[in-house]
Amino acid sequence: MTGALKLLQFGDSVFPVGAFSFSNGLETAVEQGAVHDRTTLQEFVRTVTRAAATADGVALLVAHRAARAGDLDRIRAAEEAVHLRKINEETRTMTVRMGRKLAEAAERVVGESLLRKRVAESGGVPVTYPVALGVLFAELGVGEADAFAAHQYGAASMVLGAAVRLMRVDHLDTQSILFAVNERVGEDYEDVRTAGLDDMQSFAPHLDVLAGAHQHAHVRMFMS
């Protein structure tokens, strides 16, 4: 029961890591008409979660296992792998800012931890959100599959939280989409659970194009 409560607390979409500031490309997708109704929104969210699974999700699993082994070097390697694969400024900003906020919040709430040690001994490698989440959940006794699920839930809910402010969908529409997208988390975990850092890939060029366009937009509600 305690593990489930910790999962609910730190995996909550309103946990104060600043996720509400980012739309993960949705703002530009709506502006350009690529996302314009419930169907296209669900397709967009699924694209985001699949890309998250095969890149950040792999790093989270590697970091979770490294944390259980007390391997700080492996955790840093996972951080570097995440950071190097963020090819545009906004996605790098998102993962580093949320990672730092999670580490700060964990220090305040949990206290002494391997995550705190990782921040103190950065080695010049920025803390990233998926790795910080994997490390934190490992230390809290949350299993890797549940940690992965929480990460995927967060990726989806970030986009859907932005959607209710950007387009004509209501909260029940977004909850229905979230329910449908969450049905795929198990198969995504099975696809990546044996992957290593060298297997990480996030081939979603349209998301990268949207992120690049958003960076130069004159009017923005969100940071990505």
Of the two residues 18 and 206, the one the predictor is more confident about is 18
Query: Over 90: is that where the pLDDT of 116 sits?
Result: no
Q: How many CB atoms lie within 10 A of CB 140?
A: 18
User: In this structure, what token pair is assigned to residue 190?
Assistant: 């099975």
In order of 62, 65, 99, 220, the CA distances from 69 in angstroms are 11, 6, 21, 43
- Is the pLDDT score of 204 beyond 80? no
Who wins on pLDDT, 222 or 87?
87
Lowest mean pLDDT among 90-104, 147-161, 209-223: 209-223
pLDDT the model gives residue 213 = 60
- Is a pLDDT exceeding 90 seen at residue 87? no
Any residues with CB less than 8 A from the CB of 131 and at least 6 apart, and which?
59, 60, 63, 75, 78, 79, 82, 99
User: What confidence category does residue 94 fall into, taking pLDDT thresholds of 50, 70 and 90?
Assistant: confident
What pLDDT is stored for residue 208 in this prediction?
A: 66
Share the mean pLDDT of the chain.
88
- What is the Cα–Cα distance from 95 to 48, expressed in whole angstroms? 14
The DSSP H or E segment spanning 177 is helix 171-182
At 69 the pLDDT is 96
The residue among 33, 22, 3 whose CA lies nearest residue 129 is 22
pLDDT of residue 58: 98
Mean of pLDDT values over 36-63 = 96
Sign of torsion over alpha carbons 84, 196, 105, 117: negative
Residue 112 Rama label (left phi>0; alpha psi -120 to 50; beta): beta
Distance CA 224, CA 23 (A): 6
Chain CA centroid to CA 92, Å: 12
Cβ–Cβ under 8 Å, residues 176 and 88: no
Instruction: Supply the DSSP symbol for 6.
Output: H
pLDDT at residue 67, as a whole number: 96
